Amino acid sequence: MPHAVTLTLPGQQVADRIRTRLPHAVRDVQPGYVVLEPASALEVMAFIRDDEQLDGKFLVQMCSVDQVTRIDVVYHFSSLAQNHIFEVKVPADHEQPVVPSISPLWVGAWLQEREVYDLMGVVFEGHPALTRLFLWDAFPGHPLRKDFMSLPGGQKTGLSQFPKQVPGQTGQEFRPPNPGTGQ
């Protein structure tokens, strides 16, 4: 194997390679990943699989993240021959998320796409049989969405009501100064 440890390809390198074939397919480039245009996502996926440099023949995993204004479908591709891994995201509309299915290209995607559809509600166009995987067919809604069973008025429960990390703090401040003494 060329690398002793799996090399994580930077987003810029992946984006440059995709742009050589499909110049307008990349929407955004981040250090860790590439965001694709949903309209041409399927073409890019086919290119990723068959390209010699990217060589993403192995679909490591796919999942989805609810970003409140949109839903990101996240793909990790890997090359077993060159031992590298890279990440690609396809954004979808939050209310009507539709993303092209990659099941025709990767057999390993068809169960995972069903899972994403079941729990996040993303519709994969071109999937052979897009039905719920874990939950029953009459289940209301898609539970992994952030607004699933949300409280009225944007009330928060549980841990989400606690403050986020503050710059300059280590997260240790919650600890009492003298444990066990009540001070």
Instruction: Name the one range near other proteins by CB under 8 A: 18-26, 36-44, 94-102, 169-177.
Output: 169-177
Element (H, E) at 118: helix 109-120
Tokens at 74, concatenated:
């996240």
Q: Which run of H or E residues covers position 43? A: helix 41-50
Question: How many whole angstroms separate alpha carbon 50 and alpha carbon 176?
Answer: 57
* 58 is a site residue for other proteins (CB under 8 A): yes
Binding segment toward other proteins, per CB under 8 A, in 13-21, 34-42, 94-102, 154-162? 154-162
Q: Please, which residues bridge with residue 106 across strands?
A: none
How many amino acids of this chain bind other proteins (CB under 8 A)? 49
Is residue 45 at the binding interface for other proteins, with CB under 8 A as the rule?
A: no
Strands 70-79 and 58-66 come out as antiparallel
Q: Which stretch binds other proteins (CB under 8 A): 11-19, 20-28, 40-48, 165-173?
A: 165-173
Q: Does 152 bind other proteins (CB under 8 A)?
A: no
Nearest to 55 by CA among 19, 81, 31: 81
For other proteins, the closer CB: 32 or 126: 32
Pairing state of beta strands 98-100 and 26-29? unpaired
Interface residues toward other proteins, by CB under 8 A? 1, 4-6, 32, 57-61, 63, 65-66, 74, 76, 80, 83, 85, 87, 106-112, 115, 119, 132-136, 143-144, 148, 157-160, 162-165, 170-172, 174-175
